[in-house]
Amino acid sequence: MTDRAVRARRNAIRAEYLAEEAESGDAEGLENDQAVLSVRVPAALAETLKARAADEHVPTSALIRRILASAVRQGTEPVVTVEQVEEIARRVVRESA
């Protein structure tokens, strides 16, 4: 990409971001405790999130906030417990003997 193309793409992304934030602020009302986070994600993930938000007719930033809030509410339970790992290890030892 040329420098001009890169600048144009960045400007377009910034404009889209600002529009989404303004939209989500209007849609959700102003809350007292809000902070801005900036996160880099793979381009494919960004496109998937944008498409999903468009399908749901919500701003991308609102969709991401909802996904993050849901993930945090679910807690931090491990996918596999210590007991399950120990059982897997015992089974591997038995089957390899």
* Per-residue tens of pLDDT for the chain, all 97 residues: 788 888 888 888 887 877 777 666 655 555 557 788 888 999 999 999 999 999 988 889 888 988 888 888 877 777 788 888 899 999 999 988 7
- Domain limits for position 13: 3-96
| Cα separations in angstroms, 70 against 10, 16, 63 | 30, 25, 11
Number of domains in the chain: 1
Within a 10 A sphere around the Cβ of 59, how many other Cβ atoms? 24
Q: What is the pLDDT of residues 60-74, one digit of tens each?
A: 988 898 888 888 887
pTM of the shown model: 0.48
